[in-house]
Amino acid sequence: MVEGDCAEVGDILSRVGDKWTVLVIVALADKPMHFNELKRLIDAISAKMLAATLKALVRDGMVTRHATDDLPPRVSYDLTPLGRNLLLVVRDLALWAVNNRGGIRAARLSYDTANPLARRLIKAG
């Protein structure tokens, strides 16, 4: 880790923390998927955000886009080795989240009962 990496690392971190990126990557874990397949699977996502997320992932080299020139068009998205690599790290993070959700929930509960009024002042509370 050298100096000056902060901005770049922050950029990548915020991409991971982005609302949809991780969900898309996890959705592609098993097999390539079409646009509307992804949309149905993630469901809460809008077409606009799915398109934007996929485009960003393709640009970053995490996902490939393959279109046939059939009609109706079919476009397949798949993870690249880089994306698959990220999947592993993200999965560790998710695993940590699952393993520690008890502790976090307990901490919140105790904080909130000790300090009921502060609750809504906290971000994402």
Partner DNA sequence: CAGAATCCCCCATGATACTG
Partner DNA sequence: CAGTATCATGGGGGATTCTG
Least separation in angstroms between residue 34's CB and a copy of itself is 21
Q: Which residue has the tokens 């606009």?
A: 48
Describe the strand order of the beta sheet including 63-68 as a list of residue ranges. Answer: 33-34, 74-79, 63-68
57 exposed, middle or buried (CB, 10 Å; 0-12, 13-18, 19+)?
buried
Least separation in angstroms between residue 4's CB and a copy of itself is 11
Interaction site with a copy of itself (CB under 8 A): 1, 5, 8-19, 22-23, 52-53, 55-56, 58-62, 82, 85-86, 89, 92-98, 100-101, 103-104, 106-108, 111-112, 118, 121-125
94 binds, among DNA, a copy of itself, none (CB under 5 to 8 A by kind): a copy of itself
Q: Name residue 68's beta-bridge partners.
A: 74
Closer by beta carbon to DNA, 54 or else 86: 54
H-state helical runs in 1-125: 6-17, 21-27, 35-42, 47-59, 81-114
122 binds, among DNA, a copy of itself, none (CB under 5 to 8 A by kind): a copy of itself
49 phi and psi angles, rounded to 5 deg: -70, -35
Least separation in angstroms between residue 99's CB and DNA is 26
Closer by beta carbon to DNA, 72 or else 102: 72
